[in-house]
Structure 1
Amino acid sequence: MKTDKLQLTNFKCLSNVTFEFGNLNILAGANGCGKSSLIHSLLLLRQSYEQYRNLDILSLYGKYINLGSAKDILYEHAGKGEEISYCIFNEKGAGIELAYEYAPENRMLMNVKSSAKNLKNFNIFGDTFEYLSADRIIPQTVYSSISQDNFLGNRGENSLNFLEKYGDTFKVEKVFQDDTKNEYLLYYVNKWMERIFHGFRLQLSPIAEADAVGLRYAEKSREWVSNSYRAINVGFGITYVLPIIVALLKAQRGDLILIENPEAHLHPKAQRLIGELLAKAATTGAQIIVETHSDHVLNGVRISAKNKIIAPSDIKMFFFMKEDIGSKYHTNIYLPQMDKDGNIDIWPSGFFDEWDNALALLF
């Protein structure tokens, strides 16, 4: 079930905050203001669950993230004896309360609350969890297909293997389908690739003896298809964004997808189209949390709201701002709201306003 609310205390720069999530959740703000801290807090829960199949221990070192020891993640101004705590609620109102005892040098923290139960009722502990970090796969000649994991991997390293295995059998949701009556993932990955990158489409070739998948690209117009090119001879951003396209097109109800910086290495129009794809994916019933610095990605979501692809009520925006209150810095989180025409009610200083700031200096 969708994660409806998270209350987080004493975690990194977040002293005591509450997040009420929608289907599409956009995290924005300057560097070092807390966006990644929210994502890290969720990744810690996921990796601890995968290691122990419970939440009795919070593991700071593992599959998804390595954050050092407890002294590296405790809120700097926490009082003596205070704990790092979570309260999580799903869309049905069921909750989990966790409090991890602070032990400065430890990489494993003990939960001092009663054991959390019914974890499968929360999508963060479900079988359809994806996390794509800001550091993703780069162009290579071949990609390993040894993994039997159906997850795409933190860097998207299993995306090509997933496409080669399931691209012609995995059915995408109706919102992605066109009038060709084709239902399958590989077709729609190529359709979005062609749309975003002016005709580029991928070609996969399994290399059984090497447990690998080869990747090449070709350009396609209405009447012509080019020779295929090695991925290393084609623009960096095309391969870099491929795991995001795969993750969003395979989105289904109950999924939780965490994405960092989907705009990396993309030109402005491509960034805007990724925003539109994010909005479409969120209408499947999947829950998406995306960290971005791109006003083009945001505009893609705004256009989707105006075109009635996604309801504004399904979009939540969180703008993180670090403010000097004298004795310390405090992270404040603003909650701009979007209407049915894609308009946003408040624009705090620093919230995707640099274009206007630059124009003011130019004119």
Structure 2
Amino acid sequence: MITRLTLVNFKAFRRLELPMGPLTLLTGLNSSGKSSVLQALGLFRQSFETAPPRPAIYQRMLLNGELVELGSARDVLHDDFGPTDDLLPGHDPVVGIVVEAGAPVRSVGLGLFDPDEPDEDVIETRLSPGPPQFVFKPFQYLHADRITPAVTYPRSRHAINSGFLGVRGEHTVNFLRHYGEREVLDGPLRHPEASSPQLRDQTVAWMQELCPGVNLQASAIEGTDFVRLSYGFGGTAGINSTRRRRPTNVGFGLTYALPIVVACLTATPESLILLENPEAHLHPKGQSRMAALISAAAASGAQLVVETHSDHVLNGVRIAVKQGALAADDAVIHFFRGNGSGAEVISPRVDRDGMLAQWPEGFFDEWENSLDQLLD
């Protein structure tokens, strides 16, 4: 598990040292640097997942790929870059990403910025002692821009073999069709009201937390490279369901949430899951229940890094801690706040009763601000 991520001269940060836990929530205003944390981990993964683990290897950071598209080298280098003598002596600009997985396990990726090639989309990189282990472990990265309701979705053998749902969750329906009978790991992720431990039934049970009575089917369209998703209401999954409805006739929320539900339910104790805005298109109760699912995945041993703008997600995690579903030390919260020249990070601690040790200004306080104006 990643215990600390350090970013040096990377995008909004001259230097950021970020403790991490089984569940790390990244909150804060727009353009305050939250996404940079997810992008740094995605950059490591897309650049080095096929690199051989050996001491001091040279590779290249692939700035544009399947997981992240960061532009050119000048887009990645912090505007006011500083010295990095503790990582690499010298005066040349260096972009550093340091991943720690508990002492003494430490992987350092140093991007050597070339002033003569600032518009290149690769950066020559020195790795020491080699890529972090998470680049070889089960992994999901779901962007905020996920699949929308559609008549069909792609049918990909590569996605089935790799287990990767796609950054938009575009392979979720096909994955669910193919692995629907696979059992969800015994433990916190298993929904007690599901009709079986199989992924298909567990997915239905958790989706019903977001929309009571809903069920779903994923089926292949013979003779094509596509699969079909359909919803029913008031019945159970399978032939006993009510009349099927296309996703285009149901709305955004369920389809937008489906990849996150499947990503969490298929997590293993070695998984790293990166989620952007899991609350998108969900009503407040659905956002709170999504937080319960995310907390259950973390309690099952997976590591999740979640960017969120929702106080309902935050409170859902706090409730999970208070109810004992997630250890207080396993929930790490970071509040990103711009300071004019970059960003600062404040990290409120969660107590065992779900309360926060501090509540910094600007941290999910808009309700109180609005209430003050209404009562004034």
User: Normalising by structure 1, what TM-score?
Assistant: 0.92
SS in 1 for 2:295: helix
Once the two structures are superposed, the pairs formed by residues 273-352 of structure 1 within 5 Å of their partners are 273-324=289-340, 329-352=341-364
- Selected match of 2:140 from 127, 130, 138: 130
The whole-number CA distance in structure 2 between the counterparts of 1:297 and 1:10 is 31
Matched, 1:81 2:82: no
Offset of residue 204 of structure 1: 1.8
Task: Please tell me the residue identity of whatever aligns with 2:212.
Answer: H
Distance apart, 1:170 and its partner CA? 3.7
In the alignment, which residue of structure 2 is the partner of 1:166?
A: 179
> What is the CA–CA distance in structure 1 between the aligned matches of 2:261 and 2:211, rounded to whole Å?
12
Amino acid at match of 1:345: A
Q: Which segments of 5 or more consecutive residues in structure 2 lack a partner in the other structure?
A: 83-90
Give the whole-Å Cα distance in 1 for the aligned partners of 2:241 and 2:274. 35
SS of alignment partner, residue 37 of structure 2: helix
Match of 2:9 in 1: 10
- Mean Cα displacement is larger for which, 73-82 or 247-256? 73-82
Please state whether the residue corresponding to 1:137 is helix, strand or coil: coil
Counterpart of 2:71, as a letter, is: G
Q: Tell me the distance in 2 between the aligned counterparts of 1:131 and 1:276.
A: 19
CA contact (8 A) 2:189 2:300 kept: no
The size of the alignment, in residue pairs, is: 353
What residue in structure 1 maps to residue 227 of structure 2? 213
Q: Which residue of 1 aligns with 2:152?
A: 142
Give the secondary structure class of the aligned counterpart of 1:18.
Answer: strand
**1:3 alignment partner, SS class:** coil
Residue 345 of structure 1: how far off its partner (Å): 1.2
Hey, what does 1:361 align to over in structure 2?
373
Q: 1:180, CA displacement in angstroms?
A: 6.6
Which of 113, 125, 150 lines up with 1:102 in the alignment?
A: 113
Aligned residue among 63, 66, 74 for 1:63: 66
Quick one: percent identity of the two aligned structures? 37
1:352/1:238 CA distance change after superposition, 3 Å: same
Please, which runs of 5 or more residues in structure 1 have no aligned partner? none
Asked whether 1:230 is paired with 2:240, we answer: no
Deviates more, 1:203-212 or 1:15-24: 203-212
Q: Distance in 2 between matches of 1:114 and 1:65?
A: 20
Specify the alignment match of 1:157 in structure 2: 170
* Greater mean deviation of Cα atoms: 135-144 or 98-107: 98-107
Shift in Å at residue 108 of structure 1? 1.2
2:212 corresponding residue in structure 1: 198
Task: Name the CA distance, whole Å, in 1 between partners of 2:79 and 2:227.
Answer: 46
- 1:55 offset after TM fit, Å? 6.1
What root-mean-square deviation, in Å, do the aligned CA atoms of Structure 1 and Structure 2 show?
1.9
CA contact (8 A) 1:131 1:259 kept: yes
Contact 2:22 2:330 in 1 (8 A): yes
Distance 2:280 2:342 in 1: 28
- Opposite residue 278 of structure 1, the aligned amino acid is I
Distance 1:342 1:94 in 2: 31
Specify whether residues 179 and 136 from structure 1 end up closer, same or farther in structure 2 by C-alpha distance, changes over 3 A only: closer
CA contact (8 A) 2:46 2:62 kept: yes
Once the two structures are overlaid, the 10-residue window that deviates more, 171-180 or 334-343, is: 171-180
Q: Helix, strand or coil: the match of 1:352?
A: coil
* 1:160 Cα deviation from its structure 2 partner: 0.6
CA shift for structure 1 position 181: 7.8
Deviation of 1:346 (Å): 1.1
Q: Judging changes above 3 Å, is the alpha-carbon distance between structure 1 residues 5 and 33 closer, same or farther for their aligned structure 2 residues?
A: same
Cα distance, 1:181–1:142 mapped onto 2, change above 3 Å:
closer
SS at match of 2:339: strand
Q: Is the partner of 2:326 in helix, strand or coil?
A: coil
The alpha carbon displacement at 1:228 in A equals: 1.3
